[in-house]
A and B are shown apart, each in its own frame.
Chain A
Amino acid sequence: MNAFNNRAALAIAALAGSIALSLPAAAHHSTAMFDFSKTVEVKGTIKEFQWTNPHTWTKVDVEGGGSAAVEYGLEGMSPNYLSRNGWSKRTLKTGDKVVLQVHPLKDGRPGGFMVSVKLADGTMLYNLPHRDDPAAAAAAVQGR
C-alpha cells in the first residue's frame, strides 16, 4: 500500500471511529445490521422519500452500470433530528438524480444507512454531524 492509500485508509478508519463514538449508546437501535466500517458510493434516482419516524427511508433506483437498476432501501436519521439540521420532507424528490454515500447492510441485501447525499446542484446533505465538512458541522452546531 502506498502512502496515499495508507493515509486514506487511516482517515476512513478515523471517520468510522468518530461516527461510531458519536452514535448514542442507547438510541432507538444499534447499527448492528449495517457495516459502519465500509462506505460505498452509489449513483441513482430517488424513487420515494419517506419523511417518517423513527427513521426516514429512501428508496433509490441505483444504476447498475449497464445492467438494470436495483432498488436500494436506505435508512436515515429521523425527521426530528433532520428538520433541525437543514432537511425537510422536500429535500429529496422523486426523480432527483443523486450520489449517495452508504454504509451497506451486512447481509448483502441492497440497502444500508445513508451517510450523505449529493444533489444534482452539488448540495451535500449529511445524516450525522460531519466534522470534515465545516459548513455542515456549523449547521449542525447551530441547530438550524
Chain B
Amino acid sequence: MPRGKSNVNFRIAIAVAVLGVTAGLAGAEAAQPASAAQWSKLASLPDWTGIWEVDWANKRGIRTPRPQMKLTPKYQKQLDEYRAAQKVGENVQGEAANCVPPGLPGIMTQPYPVEFLYQPGKIVMLIEAYMQFRTVHTDGRKHPEDPDPTYMGHSIGHWEGDTLVIDSVGFTDSTKIAGGVPHSDQLRIVERIKRVSPDWMEIQTTLIDPVVLAEPFTTTSSYRHLTDDIKEYICLENNRDGADEKGRPSLNLEK
C-alpha cells in the first residue's frame, strides 16, 4: 500500500475513533439526571430496608422438600453420569470452593444476606456472599438483542403491586442451574419478590430453558429480615478449601 494512502486511512481511523468517543460522551451528557419527582416516587415503593438472609436453617418452619427438575433426556443422562461419579468421590466440590461466585440463580440462595437499594430507573442488590451485586433496570428498557454473557445476566424489572418481577437473560456458560446441570443460551430466569410480613420476604424463582429443562422449574425461598448492614466478604482472604478439576475436595491445614 502506498504510504500516502496509508496515512489517509490512518487519519480516517483516528477521526472515526474521535467521533465515536465524542458521540459516546454526548450520549452520556444527554442522559438527564434524575429529577426530584423521580426520587420522590421511590417513597411509594414497598419498604425493603434492612437486609434479607435466606432461611437456610428453616426458622420459618414452612419449607417443603425441594422439587425435582425435569430435564430433557440428553441432560438427564449427563446428570446421571455426574451423580455416578459422585459415588467415587468426584463432583462433590464445586468451583465455589475456589472462590468463584456461582452467578444466578445460585447467588440468591447463599447463607448470607442481600440488601436492596432503590434509585430512579434501577434497583441494585448488594449480595454479601462473594461481595457481589446485581443491577435490575426498572426504567422500561428491553433486554439487548443478543446480550454478552455474564454471571448475573441482564435484568429488567417492574412492579406488580407490592411484587417486584425480574426477568434475566444472557448467562455465561460458567454458571450452573443446579449441581451437574448446565444451561443453554436460552436460559431465562423470572423472579417474583415480595415482602410477605414484617419479618419475611419470599422470592419465587422460575427457570426456563427449553434445551435443558423439559418444563419450567419453580422454587420459592424465604428470607428473614435483619436490621444490619451488608458485611465485607473477601473469599480469597484465607481460603483453605479447594476443588480440583474433577470436583474432589481439598482442605489446606498448612498456614
Q: Which residues of A contact B (CB under 8 A)?
A: 21-30, 32-33, 50, 52-55, 57, 73, 75, 78-81, 83-84, 105, 109-111, 128-129, 140-141, 143
Contact = CB atoms under 8 A, between A and B. Distances in A.
B57 A22 contact: yes
Interface in B23-55: 53-54
Given A27-B110, A53-B238, A55-B241, A111 B59 contact: no
Nearest to B95: A29
A109 B253 contact: yes
B97 A52 contact: no
B56 A143 contact: no
29 contacts: A21-B58, A22-B57, A23-B56, A24-B56, A25-B179, A26-B102, A26-B179, A27-B110, A28-B99, A29-B94, A29-B241, A30-B94, A32-B92, A32-B93, A33-B249, A52-B238, A54-B99, A54-B238, A54-B239, A54-B241, A55-B239, A55-B240, A78-B112, A78-B233, A80-B232, A84-B226, A105-B251, A129-B57, A140-B57
A131 to B, nearest CB: 8
A47 B53 CA distance: 33
A33 B250 contact: yes
Contacts of A32: 89, 92-93, 249
B235 A73 contact: no
Given A30-B93, A33-B251, A109-B253, A22 B58 contact: yes
A30 B56 contact: no
A9 B152 CA distance: 44
B112 A129 contact: no
A22 B56 contact: yes
A54 B251 contact: no
Contacts of A27: 96, 110-111
Nearest to B112: A80
Nearest to B65: A21
Contacts of B57: 22, 128-129, 140
A28 B56 contact: no
A24 B233 CA distance: 17
Nearest to B59: A141
Among A28, A109, A128, max chain B CB count under 10 A is at: A28
A73 B253 CA distance: 6
Interface in B86-123: 89, 92-94, 96-97, 99, 102, 106, 109-112
Given A28-B129, A53-B237, 19 more contacts: A21-B58, A24-B109, A25-B109, A26-B96, A26-B102, A27-B110, A29-B94, A29-B96, A29-B243, A30-B93, A33-B251, A52-B238, A54-B238, A54-B239, A57-B240, A73-B240, A79-B231, A80-B128, A129-B57
